[in-house]
Amino acid sequence: MNTAMNIMSIQHQLVLAIGEETDLKKMIYQFLHLAGQCLNATNSHVFIMQDQQNTPVYQLTEEDSLQHFLSFPSRRDGINTLLSQNLEQLANQFFESDATSGIIEQSSGLYYVFKLGHFGVFIIERKSALSREIQSSLPPVINKLTNSCIASINYRTMLFEINMRKEVEEQIRYQATHDDLTGLYNRMEVQRCLTKAIEDTVTEKKTGYVLSINLMNFKNINDAIGYHVGDKVLRQVADRIKKSTDKKTTIAIFNGHEFILIIDHLPANKMKSQLIIGDIIAEIIHTIERPFELSEGSFSLSCFIGYERFTDNKKNAQDIIKNASIAMYEAFKKSKDKALAYKSIMSEQLNDHIRYTKEIKQALINNDFELHYQPQFDHLYNMVGAEALLRWNHPTRGYESPAVYIPIAEESDLIIDIGNYVLEQACRDIKRLRQRTLPAFFQQISINISAKQLAKRDFVSNVIGMVNKYQIPPSSLKIEITESIMMGNLERSIDGLNTLLKFGVTCAIDDFGTGYSSLAYLKRIPASLLKIDRSFVTDIHLDQSNKAIISMIIQLAKSVNMEVIAEGVEQEQEVSCLIELGCYQFQGYYFSRPITFNDLLKFKH
Ligand code: C2E
Ligand code: MG
Ligand code: MG
């Protein structure tokens, strides 16, 4: 082979060795390997600019430096000794110089040095000199190597950036579709999943269900112990639901603690699918009701579940989820069944409810509420006080019983607004009453307080503020609470009542006998009066068991130093019987119905 052919062949082989490889290390390894053979080199080396993480770079910053990248042969012994001696220095010195190639003679051999653009150095180590022709054939090959290195570094950076971007996009997508705390889907995503599930159900002729699960007592954990514990419990509930359902079940959470489940691909046969969903629901209820053991203590929750079946695409995802929630709400309200299937009448009732709530709001604005007063008497027919009872003078329906709208107002914060109205109006009326000549034994006006009001942090200061505003003696106001305050934050309520008692406002327990009271509970509540519920008083003279109950209540009250008053007294015989049993205060139609404030002023006793 003549020299020219030989040179072309070397050039060709070296260029081929660079090849199309995109991985920098592999590419340089192949090149060094072949360069060693073609150029009869004892060793060959590449030095490349690298950053602090040893990643090759070609756009330099202050922190980057020229570092050894690869040698061939890659025998550790010789090369490492050489490198540690002076090869690194040699490469660096050459890199700093203006030359693009050069030959450096040292005792260890001849070093042919070439710059790889502005980012590296390639060194061939030989025992003897290369022919001039071969030397001059090398720059195009080095150029090709340089360009391929740049392409490879670029490619790597690009890949890195693409992956980074993908990761960020994935993160954004995850955040947009998941709940931070539990990692479950959020509202938007569950709607999307359900839309797809509805389509699949139709094409595959299957059945699906949407379950809405709401946790009871959860708010108490949050309020009384703190959000950090509430969060832990929520995560555990999410895990338990996941474990108790099929992997294909879509689980989402929204509105804080409402879980939505999509269970699809169930048999089209209604009976069969109902049996399956019944089992799933039972399992979920069971798993949620197991106590949660945390380092902060053991907590118990219960849940209510509403569900809606879908077999076709007549209703959209949003409506199906809404219906399941309505059924859940109905189950919660009735508190009879833990799980209820959606029925269209539930929506009608809910709409009535919403309309009614709006009307209450409007009534507060329009000043349509009034306070009426029902006088209370002792056994000598002295008026000893009166209970303020709310009256709504509805523009079309007329007066309506608070027993209807108070429970509705209690479901929202409207009860707080109503409570504030009652408190202020009662204090105002007490002031006006005191400007008249009061019956000799008249002690106070009592107002009804709902559990939600009592649980408010500013309740006590509100009462004290109002008494001070109207400059009435605190003892002229009594508050009536029911046993249902047991359900809220009992400790805070008791503290509040004690503060009020110290201030001079006393407390009565209303509707006594219908709740959960025990003697232990009664002893802790700073109340001075027990109001015996009407249900025990009615026909007491004819009903031996009611008589026995009332007798027991009276004994109980005496044992904890409380007074008693009987509610709903309608007949003279009831009065005599109550007196016989030791109850000397009464409230009821027999004495007087609730009357307007003006009529109370005229009441002569
Ligand atoms: P309550 O506090 O136990 O009030 C006594 C209820 O029994 C009143 O019904 C009263 O009109 C009725 N009543 C009194 N004597 C008799 C009687 O001899 N026979 C019969 N059949 N009923 C009698 P009302 O005014 O309809 O109030 C019902 C409930 O609504 C109240 O029961 C109370 O729990 C609640 N309520 C009334 N006003 C307010 C208020 O301002 N705030 C709050 N939170 N609840 C209130
Ligand atoms: Mg009352
Ligand atoms: Mg009552």
Q: Which of 111, 137, 114, 110 is nearest to 48 (CA)?
A: 114
Domain interval for residue 310: 187-342
- Output the pLDDT for position 449: 95
Both 319 and 409 in a single domain? no
Residue 555 near ligand 1, beta carbon < 6 Å: no
Whether 177 is in a domain gets the answer no
Atom number of ligand 1 nearest to Cα 415: 44
In angstroms, rounded to a whole number, what is the distance separating the alpha carbons of residues 287 and 241? 7
Both 205 and 153 in a single domain? no
Residue located nearest, by CA, to atom 19 of ligand 1: 568
Backbone angles phi, psi at 49, to 5 degrees: -65, 135
Both 194 and 329 in a single domain? yes
Both 263 and 369 in a single domain? no
Ligand nearest to the CA of 565: 3
Residue located nearest, by CA, to atom 31 of ligand 1: 403
Amino acid residing at 343: K
Tokens standing for 317? Answer: 């995802």
Residue 573's pLDDT band (cuts 50, 70, 90): very high
DSSP-assigned letter for residue 98: S
> What predicted TM-score, i.e. pTM, was given to this entire model?
0.64
Both 332 and 383 in a single domain? no
Q: What does the pLDDT look like over 467-494, one tens digit per residue? A: 999 999 999 999 999 877 755 677 888 9
DSSP result, 559-594: HTT-EEEESS---HHHHHHHHHHT--EE-STTT---
Of 23-37, 186-200, 282-296, 540-554, which gets the smallest average pLDDT? 23-37
Domain finish residue from 114, 143, 160: 160
Whether 175 is in a domain gets the answer no
Q: What is the CATH number of the domain that holds 87?
A: 3.30.450.40
Atom number of ligand 1 nearest to Cα 372: 25
Residue 510 near ligand 1, beta carbon < 6 Å: yes
Q: What is the CATH number of the domain that holds 284?
A: 3.30.70.270
Both 488 and 595 in a single domain? yes
3-state SS class at 65:
strand
Please check the confidence at residue 61 and state whether its pLDDT lies above 90.
no
Residue 406 near ligand 1, beta carbon < 6 Å: yes
Which of 205-214, 343-352, 554-563 tops mean pLDDT? 205-214
Q: Which of 93, 86, 138, 148 is nearest to 117 (CA)?
A: 148
Please check the confidence at residue 406 and state whether its pLDDT lies above 80.
yes
Both 8 and 109 in a single domain? yes
Both 360 and 338 in a single domain? no
Domain finish residue from 160, 195, 219: 160
Whether 153 is in a domain gets the answer yes
How many domains are contained in the chain? 3
Q: Which of 25, 10, 5 is nearest to 141 (CA)?
A: 10
Q: What does the pLDDT look like over 178-187, one tens digit per residue? A: 999 999 999 9
- Between vectors from CA 417 to CA 411 and to CA 422, what angle results, nearest 5°? 110
Residue 208 near ligand 1, beta carbon < 6 Å: no
Residue 539 near ligand 1, beta carbon < 6 Å: no
Please check the confidence at residue 75 and state whether its pLDDT lies above 70.
no
Whether 182 is in a domain gets the answer no
DSSP element (H, E) containing 434: helix 414-434
Both 338 and 368 in a single domain? no
Whether 25 is in a domain gets the answer yes
CA of 363 to the centre of ligand 3 (A): 24
Distance of CA 467 to the CA centre of its chain: 39
Q: What is the CATH number of the domain that holds 552?
A: 3.20.20.450
Domain finish residue from 298, 316, 342: 342
Whether 165 is in a domain gets the answer no
Amino acid residing at 132: R
- Output the pLDDT for position 76: 47
CA of 232 to the centre of ligand 2 (A): 40
CA of 569 to the centre of ligand 1 (A): 13
Both 7 and 131 in a single domain? yes
Whether 234 is in a domain gets the answer yes
Tokens standing for 275? Answer: 């049996």
> Ligand 1, residues 369, 401, 406, 529: which to mutate, most atoms within 8 A of Cβ?
406
Q: What does the pLDDT look like over 517-536, one tens digit per residue? A: 666 677 888 999 999 999 99
